[in-house]
């Protein structure tokens, strides 16, 4: 049964997913100003992915006969540091999102909402991938250090990310 508590939490998750997209778009703008087009491309793709996640929740609520209630999205920061600092922020943000998904899954389980549990399994798996991707980039940036050539090579590699 789709309970009011699960519906409310999913509406909050829509807001969180849209904020994530907004955050990554702000990071893309930051990388554009640094002329790191590959980093910017990676962030734009990530922003689009977060929008898709929000729409998954949107559609699921509708399919369950619920009511979508769009909440105000907070403004993301506009100033960021080095590529390493940005991706450390990405990793911490994804860990926060993982916690939100885990809490939502626990709520669905507690409410005996089996359909929502099954739906949320995709997001549980997705968050493992999100954290892994961010961790890999953080670790690569740590290895690169202050070497401009390494940063430019990673920029080129990140620019190859598919949409």
Please tell me what DSSP assigns to residue 161.
-
pTM over 0.85: yes
Confidence of residue 161 (pLDDT cuts 50, 70, 90): confident
Residue 163 domain-assigned (yes or no): no
Query: Please, which pLDDT band fits residue 1 given cuts at 50, 70 and 90?
Result: confident
> Which of 150, 159, 149 is CA-nearest to residue 32?
159
Residues 85-122: tens digit of each pLDDT: 999 999 999 999 999 999 999 999 999 999 999 999 99
Diameter of the chain by CA atoms?
Answer: 55
The number of C-alpha atoms within 13 Å of 9 and in the hemisphere containing its C-beta is 19
Residue 66 in any domain: the answer is yes
Q: Using a pLDDT cut of 90, give the percent of the chain over it.
A: 92
Summarised one tens digit per residue, pLDDT across range 5-39 is 999 999 999 999 999 999 999 999 999 999 999 99
The count of domains in the chain is 1
Domain with residue 48: its CATH number is 1.20.1260.10
Range scoring the smallest mean pLDDT among 16-25, 44-53, 144-153: 144-153
Task: Using alpha carbons, list the distances in angstroms from residue 118 to 21, 56, 60.
Answer: 24, 13, 11
Domain housing 80:
4-158
Task: For residue 146, tell me if it sits in a domain.
Answer: yes
Question: Quick one: pLDDT band at residue 162, thresholds 50, 70, 90?
Answer: confident
């Amino acid at each position: 049964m789709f309970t009011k508590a699960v519906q409310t939490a999913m509406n909050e998750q829509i807001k969180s997913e849209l904020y994530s997209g907004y955050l990554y778009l702000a990071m893309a703008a930051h990388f554009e100003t640094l002329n790191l087009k590959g980093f910017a491309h990676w962030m734009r793709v990530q922003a689009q992915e977060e929008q898709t996640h929000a729409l998954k929740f949107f559609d699921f609520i509708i399919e369950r006969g619920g009511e979508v209630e769009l909440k105000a999205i907070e403004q993301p920061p506009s100033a960021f540091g080095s590529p390493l600092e940005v991706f450390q922020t990405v990793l911490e943000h994804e860990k926060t999102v993982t916690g939100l998904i885990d809490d939502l899954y626990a709520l669905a389980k507690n409410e005996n909402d089996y359909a929502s549990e099954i739906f949320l399994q995709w997001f549980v798996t997705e968050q493992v991938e999100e954290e892994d991707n961010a961790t890999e980039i953080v670790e690569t940036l740590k290895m690169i250090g202050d070497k401009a050539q390494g940063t430019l090579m990673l920029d080129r590699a990140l620019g190859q990310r598919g949409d």
